[in-house]
Structure 1
């Protein structure tokens, strides 16, 4: 891969789902794609997808919670290619829980991966993005706009990312860096499985909140089974942010996501949003 003839994008969290699809799509769009993941031994699906698409990926280790790992990955990209034109913050972890049934330490762990991990990567990359007039793209969620039951910690992290990036955007733009956030809804990926809980056991251990958690789990599983978009479809918004002449700050990945997020924009007193989410736990 040439160090100067194509633009260089680094993408985190590419072992599956949107990150995998975005890495393959970016390479197909002509970008030299550095596809990173915390555990390189989990790269089989990524390598298979790249081979099937007939594209080449530069696969490297990067753990967003390990600053030394981030520094090593970005320094390696600069050493090998001489520049960095875009970063896609995609790495993240799901979480299911509610205030009384989880520890503050668990909430901190969610924030560490989903919020501080994004900041760690973005901070390390920003000097190089300024040098290239590059792009900083972060995959958040509709849960970064609308709080969702039993997702308090996850939504708090995504809200934080959205607020941080929205605040950073004009500052970065003054120095030639475009900032965008991508807001998926339900995506048919391994994300639900990656929440890492036994749903039946979680309901059984939910105490007074068991009926509400059961209702939420049943509703959410049905949504993911019946109405989720593909990871490839969601990745299209990432590629739009990567390639558009003037990318929007906020891009939803589907009509459903646009409608859902749109509810919040005009909901001055919060009644419309809570009218929806109250029904999820009824």
Structure 2
């Protein structure tokens, strides 16, 4: 039944039989037959369908919860048995908010040093996408904000508090200042991450609280594009401290801390709520805690 549940999860995710079949590497007739067999086994209709996918039935919505749990348990069983035979192996899939990609590289590098037979796939995604991907079993863990928007039932390890830096040309009037206030950005030409990013929503709130109305001249979901825009267009961007230092190294740009009241927003490792975790994921959570304690 596990393979049929995998098919069901793929259809629920893609909301399209053709795309679901492609994602699984099977033909659409094979997928349709598998879903029909699963429905026959369970004795209920799971998916409304005529000539195309019509959504999950109420029974299908309930079955989706169980399917995620059963498939997740099945994958964990395979991971634990493989770890028993061969030690930690396999591939860890991690989705990361753009401002935390440097931390993801740091974490994966240290993990790979300790467990050289584990490979990584690291994806840049929004905080909302990360939680959905965890629910859909598309990733093993994420790095995202912990305290700004609801996370649901997940395991977390706080990694750092996000602080913000103004990035401007070395010739900017702001260059060389010890710090600036959010209110200093009023009327400035800014390039920022897109509004679907939680980082952007935090920045918008800080600007609003300071009564600042800058000119948002360009948006991108790439921090690299923002830095290039500052260099080419003479605009200003706002990035988290860690990624700002990384992206501006050896470039003719100036970093100026932005004063913010209170503590920064917590960013950390987010993993599915499961006890016990797979051996590889448990090792990742443990390493994250040690790295934070060693800082």
Question: Normalization by structure 1: what TM-score?
Answer: 0.29
Q: Choose between structure 1 and 2: higher strand proportion.
A: 2
The structure carrying a bigger helix percent of its residues is 1
Larger radius of gyration: 2
TM-score, normalization: structure 2? 0.28
